[in-house]
């Protein structure tokens, strides 16, 4: 090496070291003598993230504040690998910051056109022996997120130290954890007093602020984003009498690594209740779409035949053709054929998908296509585990003209199963097959990266018998915040639904719950017996342009409005408790609005028309544990209906 080159290298090294020291030291502020802290601020109105490092043992923490109030107390950070403990003994060697602005569209979800603006700060930590961990934080108008980056391999990840410490007095809405994410949510007046155990990674906490009125104050929804086969799914864990909720990986199994590692985002969706409910933050954090041509991805309502006819209907071409005809009459673009279709008649032997003569499905697809209806079919995930068999099934379905697959019974969030999701999503995209996952994980940003995912279960939907009115009023603020949810509303014939006395409430669920393929689960007879409900369901649009929370109290009530491309607003509401008159603020915009409401009357659904000014209040009767549905459009001279 020449003298000049050696001198230049020394100068650059010194400059880099000085710059790193300056970046690390200048923004810091003392938190007493115990720790140094660095603030990360996002766009105007955003919460503030505070990353801190203990001066005595070098453990990092993260806190979240909103308008001077505490949303998250200083909470542990870090992870532990086979070779290195990155949860303590750290020093900060550098910090950098940048602005992230991304524009994208989504065929599913709460809104179509999206703009994500975030401040990203990267904190570079080192251990005493020189091992490096980067903490990447992002702050947006609707939340704070962080993830870890290991620039080189330090062995398998044993656990994360990540945890969330709530302020004293916070309450909680939590669902117990199970592999299929289908357990009910329970409201706890004290987050600290919730029973010890495991909870789903979609816990909602009211952390304070406001007047204490329903839906008022500061909220935080703990979630995760960008989980793929390099990692495993996570859930919350809680010990008795603690305000801290830890994070555990699937079955506490090590995450296998072979090189550098970037973990999923740990996400705190934060703001008032409307901000949290309307948030797309979990999607915003996920990688951009891996599907270039999305012209074949077309959401829309479907007639789902499982609750209407069961497995017997799934083995009958004649029955399925009648369902297709009914969907075509209603203007619904899809019909979903559930379990039973690929078994040999009278047997439980699976047909070979390349033997078209063994299946009546091609004939059904042709019949449906002539009626303008697309067919989605159910598959057990085990048929798609072997790459050769997976290609056989998916290529055959695509050749037949099937539009989508409903894949069921994964029942795991292990690293191995997340790798399976990666493979199946690549394959279904290549074959232009839309996807609905059941017995599954929850979306976690997957619908941005793979927009052919129309919906996911991860919820105890209409076919389950353990739902309650409280559960119906919990889902808009928890599970459905994260992504499309296949609850399958519309089963008026089911005696087990918690709003069995409220056809209006059942109808409202078709809007209150968002799903890229809204699987309507009633029988044709049940719809024909309720012509007003049928008329409303016939008008459901393929997708939503915008979503607004009109009013709500998690676990007790929820009213959401969703705007269609033609400018009309569809509104759905659900309430727990005794029959009463409820006041619904019409937060749709200025001017006069024509609102058609559907409520429960003594002889069935009652349709009424109201004219309300934007910002005004609509008073509606609801029965016990009931709800309503509505349709709003701009009022103009001579207009008497919002129907197109």
Active-site choice (160, 180, 338, 408): 408
Strands of 255-357 (E only): list them.
261-262, 265-271, 302-304, 334-337
User: Rounded to an integer, what distance in angstroms lies between the CA atom of residue 296 and that of residue 72?
Assistant: 42
Q: Would you call 408 a catalytic residue per the annotation?
A: yes
Q: How far is CA 345 from CA 195, 394, 611, 621, in A?
A: 49, 22, 56, 50
Q: In the 3-class helix/strand/coil scheme, how is 54-106 assigned residue by residue?
A: ECCCCCEEEEEEECCEEEEEEEECCEEECCCECCCCCEEEEEEEEEEEEEEEC
Residue matched to tokens 């019909």: 335
DSSP characters for 567-583? S-EEEEEEE-SS-EEEE
Q: How far apart are the first and last CA of the chain?
A: 78
Laid out side by side, the sheet with 557-563 consists of 546-553, 557-563, 569-575, 627-634, 592-601, 604-613
Q: How far is CA 617 from CA 152, 582, 584, 610, 613, in A?
A: 58, 10, 5, 11, 8
User: Rounded to an integer, what distance in angstroms lies between the CA atom of residue 97 and that of residue 24?
Assistant: 12
DSSP characters for 425-466? HHHHHHTT-EEEE-S----TTHHHHSTTEEEE--S--TT-S-
User: Rounded to an integer, what distance in angstroms lies between the CA atom of residue 478 and that of residue 473?
Assistant: 10
Q: How far is CA 168 from CA 35, 189, 289, 384, 588, in A?
A: 22, 11, 40, 48, 36
Active-site choice (54, 463, 532, 545): 463
Of 401, 400, 408, residue with least CA distance to 384:
408
The backbone region for 572, taken as left when phi is positive above 0, alpha when psi lies in -120 to 50, beta otherwise, is: beta
C-beta of residue 60 within 8 angstroms of C-beta of residue 90: yes
C-beta of residue 408 within 8 angstroms of C-beta of residue 379: yes
Active-site residues, by number, are: 408, 463
């Amino acid at each position: 090496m020449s003298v000049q080159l050696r001198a230049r290298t020394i100068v650059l090294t010194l400059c880099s070291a000085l710059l790193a020291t300056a970046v690390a030291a200048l923004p810091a502020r003392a938190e007493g003598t115990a720790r140094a802290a660095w603030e990360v601020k996002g766009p105007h109105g955003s919460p503030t993230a505070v990353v801190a490092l203990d001066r005595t043992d070098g453990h990092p923490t993260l806190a979240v504040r909103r308008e001077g109030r505490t949303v998250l107390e200083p909470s542990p950070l870090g992870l532990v690998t086979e070779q290195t403990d990155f949860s303590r003994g750290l020093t900060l060697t550098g910090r950098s910051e940048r602005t992230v602005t991304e524009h994208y569209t989504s065929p599913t979800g709460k809104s179509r056109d999206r703009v994500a603006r975030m401040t990203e700060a990267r904190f570079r930590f080192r251990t005493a022996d020189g091992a490096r961990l980067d903490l990447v934080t992002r702050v947006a108008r609707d939340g704070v997120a962080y993830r870890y980056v290991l620039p080189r391999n330090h062995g398998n990840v044993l656990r994360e130290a990540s945890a969330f410490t709530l302020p004293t007095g916070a309450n909680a809405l939590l669902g117990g954890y199970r592999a299929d994410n289908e357990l009910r949510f329970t409201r706890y007046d004290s987050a600290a007093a919730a029973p010890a155990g495991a909870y789903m990674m979609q816990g909602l906490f009211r952390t304070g602020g406001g007047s204490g009125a329903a839906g008022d104050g500061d909220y935080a929804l703990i979630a995760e984003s960008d989980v793929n086969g390099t990692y495993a799914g996570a859930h919350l864990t809680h010990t008795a009498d603690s305000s801290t909720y830890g994070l555990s990986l699937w079955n506490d199994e090590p995450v296998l690594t072979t090189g550098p590692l970037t973990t999923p985002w740990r996400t705190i969706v934060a703001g008032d209740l409307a901000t949290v409910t309307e948030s797309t933050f979990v999607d915003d954090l996920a990688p951009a779409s891996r599907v270039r041509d999305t012209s074949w991805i077309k959401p829309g309502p479907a007639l789902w035949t499982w609750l209407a006819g069961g497995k017997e209907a799934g083995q009958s071409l004649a029955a399925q053709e009648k369902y297709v005809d009914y969907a075509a009459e209603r203007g619904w673009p899809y019909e979903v054929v559930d379990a039973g279709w690929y078994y040999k008649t009278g047997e439980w032997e699976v047909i070979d998908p390349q033997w078209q003569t063994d299946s009546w499905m091609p004939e059904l697809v042709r019949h449906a296509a002539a009626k303008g209806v697309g067919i989605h079919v159910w598959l057990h995930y085990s048929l798609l585990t072997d790459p050769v068999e997976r290609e056989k099934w998916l290529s055959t379905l695509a050749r037949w003209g099937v539009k989508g697959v409903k894949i069921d019974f994964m029942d795991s969030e292990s690293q191995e199963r997340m790798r399976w999701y990666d493979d199946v999503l690549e394959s279904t995209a290549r074959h232009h097959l839309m996807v609905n996952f059941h017995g599954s994980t929850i979306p976690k940003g997957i619908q941005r990266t793979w927009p052919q995912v129309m919906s996911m279960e991860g919820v105890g939907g209409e076919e389950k018998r353990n739902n309650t009115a409280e559960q119906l009023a919990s889902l808009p603020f928890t599970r459905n915040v994260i992504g499309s949810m296949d609850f399958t509303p519309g089963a008026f014939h089911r005696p087990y639904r918690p709003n069995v006395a409220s056809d209006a409430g059942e109808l409202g669920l078709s809007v209150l719950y968002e799903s890229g393929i809204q699987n309507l689960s009633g029988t044709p007879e049940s719809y024909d017996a309720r012509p007003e409900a049928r008329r409303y369901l016939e008008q459901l649009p393929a997708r939503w342009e915008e979503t607004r929370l009109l009013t709500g109290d998690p676990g007790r009530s929820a009213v959401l409005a969703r705007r269609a491309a033609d400018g009309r607003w569809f509104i759905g509401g659900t309430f727990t408790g005794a029959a009463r008159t409820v006041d619904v603020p019409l937060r749709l915009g200025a001017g006069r609005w024509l609102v058609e409401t559907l409520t429960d009357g003594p002889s069935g659904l009652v349709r009424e028309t109201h004219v309300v000014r934007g910002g005004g209040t609509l008073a509606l009767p609801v029965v016990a544990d009931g709800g309503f549905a509505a349709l709003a459009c701009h009022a103009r001279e001579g207009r008497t209906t919002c129907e197109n």
